Structure 1
Amino acid sequence: MIHKIFTSPINMVVKIGEKVKEEVDREFYDLEHIQQKLIHLQMMYELGEIEDDAYKQQESELLIRYEIAKKREMEQIEEMTKRNKK
């Protein structure tokens, strides 16, 4: 009983941290979200709302995130395929 009193707040913080990490990963590595950001960035550039250097930097960062997200997606598919074969 005393053990639960002391560990309960810690467990709650851990669960909140895990949930935050899931949301950040989803936001950071969601392919659709990244594609939307790239489209929005392109529109801003074409409308002259963003400078060339800033556009190139942001585009580069988004493309790197896209590449990582795609790689993670492929790894998940491979993992699921391996599990289904067993």
Structure 2
Amino acid sequence: MIHKLFTVPMNLVIKVGEKVKEEADRELYDLDFIQQKLIRLQMMYELEEIPEKVYKEKEEELLMRYEVAKARELEEWEAMTKKQR
């Protein structure tokens, strides 16, 4: 019973950490999320809410993240197909 008293807080910290990692990964590597951000960025630029310089910088960053996310997706797909063989 004493063991449970000490491990429960640690388990909670681990679960919170896992959730934070999942959310960070989603924001960094989720293709749909990145596409939505690109669309919003384009709209902001077209509505003249942001200057061209900011638009280009953010667009470049999002496109690089998209490329990384796509590469990760392809790696995961290849790993899954190798397991099925």
Letter in 1 for 2:5: I
Task: Output the aligned Cα RMSD.
Answer: 1.1
Counting matched residue pairs gives: 85
1: CA distance, partners of 2:29 / 2:3:
38
Gaps of 5+ in 1: none
Structure 1 CA distance, aligned partners of 2:17 and 2:63?
27
Correspondence for 1:35: 35
> SS of 2:4's equivalent?
helix
What are the ranges of 5 or more consecutive residues in structure 2 without an aligned counterpart? none
Q: Distance in 1 between matches of 2:64 and 2:56?
A: 12
Q: CA deviation at 1:84?
A: 0.5
Whole-Å Cα distance in 2 between the matches of residues 46 and 37 of structure 1?
14
Give the distance between the partners of 1:58 and 1:43, measured in 2 at CA: 13
Give the Cα–Cα distance (whole angstroms) in 2 for the partners of residues 16 and 6 of structure 1.
Answer: 17
Answer yes or no: is 1:80 the counterpart of 2:80.
yes
Percentage of identical aligned residues: 66
Whole-angstrom distance in 2 between the partners of 1:43 and 1:19 = 31
User: 1:2-81 to 2 correspondence within 5 Å?
Assistant: 2-81=2-81
Letter in 2 for 1:69: A
